[in-house]
Structure 1
Amino acid sequence: MSSLFRGEEMQLCQIYFKSEVAYSCVSQLGELGLVQFKDLNANVNAFQRRFVNEVRRCEETERKLRYVEKESAKEGIEMDEADETCDAPKPKDMITLEAKIDQLEHDLVEVNTNKDALRKNYLELIELKHILVKATQFFEEADNFSIYNRPDRYGYESDDEHHNQTEIEDTMSKTVMSMEGPLVSDVHIAPSLRLGFLAGIMNRDKVSAFELMLWRFCRGNVFLKTADLTELVEDVSTSTFQAKTVFIIFFQGEQLKNKCKKICDGFKATIYPCPETLKERREMLNGVSMRLDELKTVLDQSLNLRKSILVNAAQNLRTWFAQVHKMKAIYHTMNMFSHDQKSIIAECWAPKSEIARIRETLDLETVIIFFFYLH
């Protein structure tokens, strides 16, 4: 029976046992919690010890478990408590546990990769849908308010493609000619020349600086139209909801087009393809809407699969943590032992009053274990 005093008379012991039972002996002594081993390899580098590979395997398994734990926390999944009676797995059982955890991580990484790709595509299609809607509204406004609203004014046919292009050219010409400044006062854009345009989306707080940069860098030879979105849009790169603005830049020539693209890149604005004709825009919008519905269904299935994997893992995650932690502690302890060809030598401190109990625990093995009292 232990003394009531805090101090306990200790005994330094030396243990000899065979290599094949060293793991189980250390496991039993660890569960008993009555001995403290001495490091007999203090002059040996940690990376040169005998069981360094086993320790690395345990650390790698712990890393995978932490990854699963982190993903479970994101979903708000409660993990079951660890089984307090679980023992350290035997080396042969550890192989099975490693394979199970490896497969769990692989499945989770694969599901997350697919989910992220689907979500990115989904968010991009949402932005493209906003651009198509706003572009259509802009062209309709040009039709309704332009004073040059006669389809045969310049010999164009009355179809949507030529009609819309003519109105934008007229709007561009009026806008440029009404701007003040020596660099644009003499500019004249012939209606017969087709204008190019870029459509994209960007953060609303950057629009003012973006417009100023376009004006200065392109010397006023572009026309910018913007439209703020009423609802917040989830950003593709940051996955945060932000206020966005759709923009359309009209220009003439490849040189201005390249300049506009560089400015868009600098402001992290995303450019999307936008057809010139109303018919093509409607067809693309219908295709985007159908694709969004399909992606939403697949994305929901992916999220449900991910959650089911995490829920199943949460039942055993704490127990696996405890088992791997115990196994890692065993190999760390065995790295402090002295090894020869047939046996392993360990030195430990133990309470003198508990020597019999320690001996009884170790005598459960089929080999003889000797104690040598050094003090």
Structure 2
Amino acid sequence: MFLNKYFEKFSKMDSEEAIFRSAPMTLVQFYVTIEIARDVVYNLGTIGKVHFRDLNSRLTPFQRTFVDELRKIDSIDTQLKFLKDVMLKYDCTPNDETQSTKDSRLPSSSEMDDLVSRIASVYDRIKYLDDSYDQLNSERYKYLENRYVLNEVDNFHSLSSGRGGNQDEGNFVIQGDSDTEDDVALLNQRNHSLEEAQEVSLEDAAGYNSICGTIESEKVGLLRNILWRASRGNLFFHSADITQEKLPDFSTNKMSLINKSVFIIFTHGDFLKSRIKKILQSLDGVLYENTEGGATSRNETLNYLNSRIEDITNVVLNTKNHLISELVIFQDSYASWLYTIERERMIYEVLNKFDFDSTRRCLVAEGWIPTETFGSIKSMLRKVIRSKSYHGSYHARVSEESIEIADQSNASIGDENYSLLTTEGGHGDDTVDNSDEEYDSLVAVVNELMTNRTPPTYHKTNKFTAAFQSIIDAYGIATYQEVNPGLPTVVTFPFMFAIMFGDLGHGFIVMLVALYLILNEVRFQAKKNKDEIFEMAFNGRYIILLMGIFSIYTGLLYNDIFSKSMTLFKSGWVWDFPKDYDPGSKGRMSISAKKVSGHTYPFGLDWAWHGAENNLLFTNSYKMKLSVLMGYIHMNYSLMFSLVNYRFFRSKVDIIGNFIPGFLFMQSIFGYLCITIIYKWSVDWVGTHKQPPGLLNMLINMFLAPGKVDEQLYPGQSFVQVVLVLIAVVCVPWLLLYKPMVLRRKNNTAVEQGYSNIHSQRNHSIQLHEEEEAIILENELRDDNNDDDAEHFKFPNDIEPMFHNSASHDDDDNFNFGDIVIHQVIHTIEFCLNCVSHTASYLRLWALSLAHSQLSTVLWEMTIKNAFGMQGTKGIIMTVVLFGMWFILTVCILVMMEGTSAMLHSLRLHWVEAMSKFFEGEGYAFTPFNFDSISL
């Protein structure tokens, strides 16, 4: 009883926290006129305490009320995304005004229209400038590319005609600007086809035509092979890379810059020429027709291209400067505009969850709220009504009508409390302007509904407890109002970690890392696009801090700092050296230690054990038994939470049928084992001159040979063990049969009384109260609307029924004795086997602690220990190098890798070994509507 009262004390903590048990939730219903629905949803999103239900779940997104508004927002969002891409394209980073943006008020409908017009105007202007810049830049690149082609053609003809260098013997040189220059160039090249060297005779040269252009450099080899096969070698192909700069690929709209090459092709015949052009087009080649003619014609074309390039370059620069100036002006407003549009989208998405009541011309919504926020939501609605009324008419007066069916402080299942807020014009004053009728009919109603639905789970956390709660939520969301494992996890998780990671030095490093993250949390929290691993560590900075602090504590207990011991206190052992002992002797001599009478080491492990040969044997036995004790305490602590849950939910059958036999079963076996461990530690076996008995064999023989004790631990041991075995044996059928039989008896009694099953009997009083309250609510609403024919509004598009009662005929409400028996059999087998396996699982505390200690020792001996004893310059260099190696390996292997391993094992001990004793985890998270999820 004392333990239960202690736990219940945490469930009644201050309203600012709800960590021991989820906060009480209330299902509410909103009736809001369409004129103020947007303002109401905005204010609810600002409060951030309403988990809306979708009352139109059967409708597609295109069948909902505000689909046109969302389409309009989508188009605006597309425009803003385009503008952001343009800013990134021209290196104009949007200003980060997150805080000031989130504090902005909700614009009115007319202001939203003005904002949409401004965004559209900016979009059109910047899009026009960007398209103009791209078009002009593309044209400039085309002229540049044309100039490269002309220069290459001119170089080709210059070299071929002998103007560019010495002539090969037998080359024909023709001076002048005749139209036969291409023919002479072809002959002077001693043309070779692609595969066979075939000289072109002067008589055939007159029939060749040149095709010039550019193509991607990677496609030159492919083009050469295709042309040779297509023309059967009847052509001359020349290519040269453009090395000065990259040019755009005009076949794509992205204007990506690539390496290009100039090609010059000579062939004859219109048919072959047209075929080659088609091949070039298929390979995204660009052809230029202005390269024909003599040198004079090419020079005139080149002068024209230079003039055009200069003019277009000036226009491109001016266009870019104008565009950048527009972007600089726009980037100051981008963050606020984007936030406003995204907020507007969220508001209309929530409004699409509302159902339209055509009889009252208002929107109806349902949602879960924390019970304590009901008053603040009513106050918010009152302010919205008053604000809209004052904006609508100076003559409007606000009246508030509050219909109280039951006092909210004493509300329970079946109580209903709603507040009706309206505006009326002047109490019969005929001077009110008719233009204010729109604001005279504003209505906002919030109802507190009675329901059997399971509310969402809402745990209030702060920045310290949020990380620990996320560990639990990663495994499963706690069932509504059950004990939350997140509270004890604050202590048990870092402590279990520290048992496996017990080293003062390593714990100090972990603590320093956590302190660095905590002291700079404001700067890191404002940083966007954090690395995934770093963000995980940053979010768990308080977990890391406690892990470091607890590791320092366990390091002091183990007397271990970087695998070395600390002589903090005087040892309780002294070495007993023989008289003929020679420290310099190379012979091996065994030296024993004796206990100092009347002296005990004050805290932790005596440092004298670190130098003993049986150190590993002693610490193994010590840590192994300690891990069993820690596991027993942790599991029993968790098992007590199941009693707290059963008492809270008033489940007497679970207390008698599950908790009591389960508790007795665990205590009779592993509770007894833990008592014997402590008793064995308390006995001075050296003083009694007896060999201490093995506890593992004792536990095994306790079941295999009841009543037989090979090595007696205490008097009367045989009788005690037989009684404990009998208790454990009795608990198994108790677990197996009690709950199914009791439920079956109660169900038969309910059937005899005329109910369909035990569930219908349980819900009968709730159903009656539900019907009474529904009639009262309907009468009040009918009187308020002066409509005798009004009916209670129902939600035709809501899949989930309004109330869960005996009329719902859900499968979960049917009593199935076979399912209950199967479930209880599974529970019994799991519990009995888990008592054994889970206790053994806590031995990982010993195993990882041993591994961590030994790995630290090995790392010390293989690195920095080798530098000790060296002198001079060599000793200094070796000390610095080996210390650096030791420190880096310590941080990387022992702190990061071993720390991650210990953290995962501690996580498993909580998820499986502890939480399986009481945690159901069948709830769903409370996800209130708020604007915190908007990211700029």
Note the residue ranges of structure 1 that are not aligned, 5 or more in a row. Answer: 152-157
Q: Which moved more, 1:344-353 or 1:127-136?
A: 344-353
Q: 1:14 to 1:255 in 2, by over 3 A?
A: closer
Larger strand percent: 1
Contact conserved, 1:13 with 1:347, CA < 8 A, in 2?
Answer: yes
Q: 1:282 to 1:25 in 2, by over 3 A?
A: same
Q: Which amino acid aligns with 1:299?
A: V
The yes-or-no answer on 1:248 pairing with 2:261 is no
How far does residue 189 in structure 1 lie from its aligned partner after superposition? 5.0
Instruction: Show the counterpart of 2:322.
Output: 305
Q: State the distance in 1 between where 2:26 and 2:147 align.
A: 78
The yes-or-no answer on 1:227 pairing with 2:201 is no
How far does residue 320 in structure 1 lie from its aligned partner after superposition? 1.3
Q: State the distance in 1 between where 2:247 and 2:322 align.
A: 23
Q: Which amino acid aligns with 1:260?
A: I
Equivalent in 28, 39, 63 of residue 78 of structure 2 = 63
CA RMSD of aligned residues (A): 2.6
Deviation string 1:237-262 (CA, Å, 9 cap, x unpaired) is: 36444433222112222122123223
Q: 1:164 to 1:84 in 2, by over 3 A?
A: same
Q: State the distance in 1 between where 2:449 and 2:345 align.
A: 29
Instruction: Show the counterpart of 1:324.
Output: 341
Instruction: Show the counterpart of 1:190.
Output: 203
Q: State the distance in 1 between where 2:288 and 2:56 align.
A: 64
Q: 1:208 to 1:334 in 2, by over 3 A?
A: closer
Q: State the distance in 2 between where 1:102 and 1:137 align.
A: 52
Instruction: Show the counterpart of 1:116.
Output: 134
The yes-or-no answer on 1:14 pairing with 2:29 is yes
Instruction: Show the counterpart of 2:146.
Output: 128
Instruction: Show the counterpart of 1:155.
Output: none
Q: Compute the TM-score of the two structures, normalised by the length of structure 2.
A: 0.37
Instruction: Show the counterpart of 2:367.
Output: 348
Equivalent in 102, 105, 109 of residue 84 of structure 1 = 102
The yes-or-no answer on 1:263 pairing with 2:275 is no
Instruction: Show the counterpart of 2:44.
Output: 29
Q: 1:180-219 residue pairs with structure 2 within 5 A?
A: 180=196, 188=201, 190=203, 193=206, 195-219=208-232
Q: State the distance in 1 between where 2:183 and 2:79 align.
A: 61
Contact conserved, 1:41 with 1:336, CA < 8 A, in 2?
Answer: yes
Contact conserved, 2:183 with 2:206, CA < 8 A, in 1?
Answer: no
How far does residue 175 in structure 1 lie from its aligned partner after superposition? 3.0
How far does residue 180 in structure 1 lie from its aligned partner after superposition? 4.9
Q: State the distance in 1 between where 2:93 and 2:64 align.
A: 39
Identity between Structure 1 and Structure 2 (%):
24
Q: State the distance in 2 between where 1:150 and 1:361 align.
A: 96
How many equivalent residue pairs? 364
Contact conserved, 1:88 with 1:324, CA < 8 A, in 2?
Answer: no
Contact conserved, 1:124 with 1:236, CA < 8 A, in 2?
Answer: no
Q: State the distance in 2 between where 1:265 and 1:338 align.
A: 59
The yes-or-no answer on 1:143 pairing with 2:165 is no
Q: 1:3 to 1:84 in 2, by over 3 A?
A: closer
Deviation string 1:200-250 (CA, Å, 9 cap, x unpaired) is: 122333333333333332222212223333323223336444433222112
Q: Which amino acid aligns with 1:106?
A: D
Q: Compute the TM-score of the two structures, normalised by the length of structure 1.
A: 0.87
The yes-or-no answer on 1:167 pairing with 2:184 is yes
Q: Which moved more, 1:331-340 or 1:121-130?
A: 331-340
Q: Which amino acid aligns with 1:264?
A: L
The yes-or-no answer on 1:296 pairing with 2:313 is yes
Q: 1:30 to 1:282 in 2, by over 3 A?
A: same
Note the residue ranges of structure 2 that are not aligned, 5 or more in a row. Answer: 1-13, 387-420, 423-443, 451-936
Contact conserved, 2:31 with 2:362, CA < 8 A, in 1?
Answer: yes
Q: State the distance in 2 between where 1:360 and 1:127 align.
A: 71
